[in-house]
Amino acid sequence: MQYPPLVHYATVAEYRAHFDRVYCQGPLTTFDAIKVRFRREQFDHYFFESVKARDDTFSRRRAERIDWVAVALVDPGAELRVGWDNHRKRPAPNRRVAIVVQDYVVVIRMVRAGWAELVTAFVADARTLAQIRTNPLWKRKNR
């Protein structure tokens, strides 16, 4: 699947406005009919990284791929894995991880049958990808 070019803005406010305009007007439906909601108040979690404190540093690398989130969710060729529960240290069948264009990861969390919310999206390093790939493949029954 063709992924769009990177998005370049000068300010965080411009990326925030783009996110609001593209994602926060209603759910996006994945290729397998899951409706994904995006929460305006989670912008910092999606596009900032933790350096010294939680979500304290804007990540241009994440933000430039803002349009990739939607494409990854509708990409039927995405590698789909069950997500991970950091608190329980085990696979989380209510989380779906999509790996696309070799190293871009989009995580959604199922909130009820047929509905999910975006958890995060980022470019993963080789170690993180290897860890993700130890989890089971996502199957439709996981929904």
Domain ranges of the chain: 12-142
> Does residue 140 surpass a pLDDT of 70?
no
116-134 pLDDT, tens digit per residue, is 999 999 999 999 999 999 9
Residue 56 scores a pLDDT above 60? yes
Q: pLDDT (tens digit, 9 = 90+) per residue, 31-42?
A: 999 999 999 999
Whether the predicted pLDDT of 20 surpasses 90: yes
| pTM over the 0.85 mark | yes
DSSP 70-119: HHHHH-TT-EEEEEEETTTTEEEEEEEEEEETTTEEEEEEEEETTEEEEE
Mean per-residue pLDDT for 41-68? 90
Each residue of 68-95: pLDDT tens digit?
A: 999 999 999 999 999 998 889 899 999 9
